[in-house]
Amino acid sequence: MTAPHAPFRTPVALRWSDLDAFNHVNNARYLTFLEQARIEWLEGIGDAWVTDEAGPVVASATLNFKAPITYPADVFVELFAEKLGTSSVVIGHRILAADGTLHCDGQVVVVWIDRRSGRATPLPDGVRRAAETLLPA
């Protein structure tokens, strides 16, 4: 995976409830961290990304676990665009510690769908423009 020069980056506030019996962040929580980062990115683009007519759905998610996150930790999610389609965007991601330790990487495919038909619909213009800024240089 090749990241752009400036991916979208946001901190993750770890909660006690994120942990498993081994004091590690439960693997299922990683998806929640990625979801929160995507929502923060989309909310920050300045254009409508979800409407009564259309909205995003996750079509696939790939997570490659590299190192456990133990509590406490300063952790960040980085997002970048890997590919833009007509109705979808492939969002690469990394979950990193403040010291640079890579905890997880992978990608999520997000497809915009028409809420009435359930069929794919073109990406909103604002999402396309914002994703283009996150493509690799």
Look at residue 4 in the predicted model and tell me its pLDDT: 43
Tens of pLDDT, residue by residue over 73-97, are 999 999 999 999 999 999 999 999 9
- Rounded (10°) CA dihedral 79, 80, 83, 84: 90
State the alpha helices, DSSP H only, in 1-137.
27-43, 125-132
pLDDT above 90 (res 136): no
Structural domains of the chain in order of their starting residue, each with its CATH number: 8-132 (3.10.129.10)
Q: What is the pTM of this model?
A: 0.91
